[in-house]
Structure 1
């Protein structure tokens, strides 16, 4: 018997539907649940993490991380562990298929409707797999739910909150899931060390030049900025390598551009080999940032 009836992938910041299952049921209770799911979607930024909303015939579950959330309408008989395991699996499938930049730039509803085939595959697996097949996965998710219960919302309150501009409805907040990166590699450690070295050189030269320029002349302010801006860019490169950040590709390219332009501006103060060293370290760090990905799964939920 089907327990998961409808699924939607939405953008958290504004509730824009990115993709959804094409299943459609004409039962009035189901149509009402879909209407309330849409109302809840625009409020997801207020409810980070996991949450549920109950009606007489269905339950709406949601799980969000970063800028993407997955939502599902399930039967009341569907175990919460199964619903959240399904949503987590779907979240990983979506985020591994579409770049965060594309998600951020999406301007029309259902811009990723082709993802429906994956939704159907995952939904079919969870609706028809036996309990023994998913036992270990469900037990792990259930432990997480026992340790950190999901937010429980009233659909009536959700409707009211959607109509109130000042948002008087109290909200229980739950920390969003932590992103886990792949282990640091030896080449990654080397890029960090070299990046820190470049940052230190830029900071020392920039501060020394600033002390001299403030006492002697103001025309060297461009050289000071050409040292300090790459210093800041190097520090942010280290941060992007160590920690996950949405839109990493755009940020990495912007930082790389700042470092290259800063070193080009310093052509008179640095020789060619020094410039090539700083630019080469910047390219190595950028490569390491872009190749270090999120771990494939946060839990054992699998299709």
Structure 2
């Protein structure tokens, strides 16, 4: 008998539905639960990574990380560990299929309609698959829930918050779950060292020029910024390589563009070889950042 009735992937910052399973349940209690799930989706940014809310016949579970959250309507008989195992698997499948840039740029509901079939297959697997296939994965999630239980929410409170057109509920200050990145490579370490070297050169030249310009002339402010902006961009490139950040691709490209434009502007203060060195390091660092992905999860939750 089915225990997971409906699943949805939403954007955390505004609750925009990105994809959902097709359901054929028209019971009034289920439809009311669907309505409340939509109201709760808008409030996800104010809650920690895992949470649950109960109605008379159903439970709503959600799991969020980064800019994406997965939500499900389950039977009250469905074990919480199984529901969160399903949601975790769904999150990994979605984030492996669509990057943060596409998620962030989505402007219409259900923009990733093609993912619906994946949700249906995964829902069927958890509803009808062999319990032995999922036993170890569910047990692992059960252990995690013992150390960090999901927050329990009231659907009535979510409705009330959603109905306030201009209200501002207090933001939950608990940090979002951290992402585990792939190990740092030798080439990645080299890009970090070269990036720090370029940042230091930019800072030294920028500060030196600023000290001289304050005593000589004000028209060199453009040259000063052309040194200091790439300095900040180099430092931020190191951060983007070491740590996960939403919309990472867009940020990497912005830092790369800042470094390139700054060095082009400095033509005359730097030789061609110096410019090529700084731009080359920026491209190497950008490539290393974009190719360093989230680490594959160790458990496949039975899928």
Q: Is 1:195 the counterpart of 2:226 in the alignment? A: no
**2:133–2:302: 8 Å Cα contact kept in structure 1?**
no
Backbone CA RMSD of aligned residues: 1.6
Conserved in 2, the CA contact under 8 Å of 1:19 and 1:111?
yes
Match of 2:69 in 1: 69
Q: Which whole-Å CA distance do the structure 2 matches of 1:17 and 1:38 have between them?
A: 8
The unaligned stretches of length 5 or more in structure 2 are none
How much does 1:260 deviate?
Answer: 0.8
Q: TM-score, normalised by structure 1?
A: 0.96
Within 5 Å, which residues of 2 pair with 1:54-93?
54-93=54-93
Alpha-carbon distance, 1:131 to partner: 2.3
Equivalence for 2:9: 9
User: In 2, Cα distance between the equivalents of 1:36 and 1:177?
Assistant: 25
Deviation at 1:49? 0.5
| Equivalence for 1:276 | 276
TM-score (normalised: structure 2) = 0.96
Q: How many residues are paired up?
A: 303
The 1-side partners of 2:109 and 2:18 are apart by 6
From the superposition, tell whether residues 174 and 136 of structure 1 become closer, same or farther in structure 2 (CA, over 3 Å). farther
Q: Does 1:235 align with 2:235?
A: yes
Counterpart position of 1:131: 131
Q: Is the 8 A contact 2:48 2:172 kept in 1?
A: no
Q: Residue 115 of structure 1 corresponds to which residue in structure 2?
A: 115
Greater Cα shift, 33-42 or 127-136 = 127-136
2:206 maps to what in 1? 206
- Structure 1 residues 202 and 174, CA, compared in 2 at 3 Å: closer, same or farther? closer
- Alpha-carbon displacement from aligned partner over 1:217-255 (angstroms, at most 9, x marks no partner): 111111111111110110000000000111111111111
- C-alpha distance in 1 between matches for 2:254 and 2:128: 47
Kept in 2: contact 1:50–1:61 (CA 8 A): yes
SS in 1 for 2:132: coil
Unaligned runs of 5+ in 1: none
- Quote how far apart the aligned CAs of 1:161 are: 2.0
Q: Hey, what does 1:163 align to over in structure 2?
A: 163
Q: Would you say 1:297 and 2:297 are equivalent positions? A: yes
- After TM superposition, the structure 1 stretch with the greater mean CA deviation from structure 2, 156-165 or 215-224, is 156-165
Q: Distance in 2 between matches of 1:262 and 1:276?
A: 12
Q: For residues 178 and 166 of structure 1, do their structure 2 counterparts lie closer, same or farther at Cα, with a shift above 3 Å needed? A: same
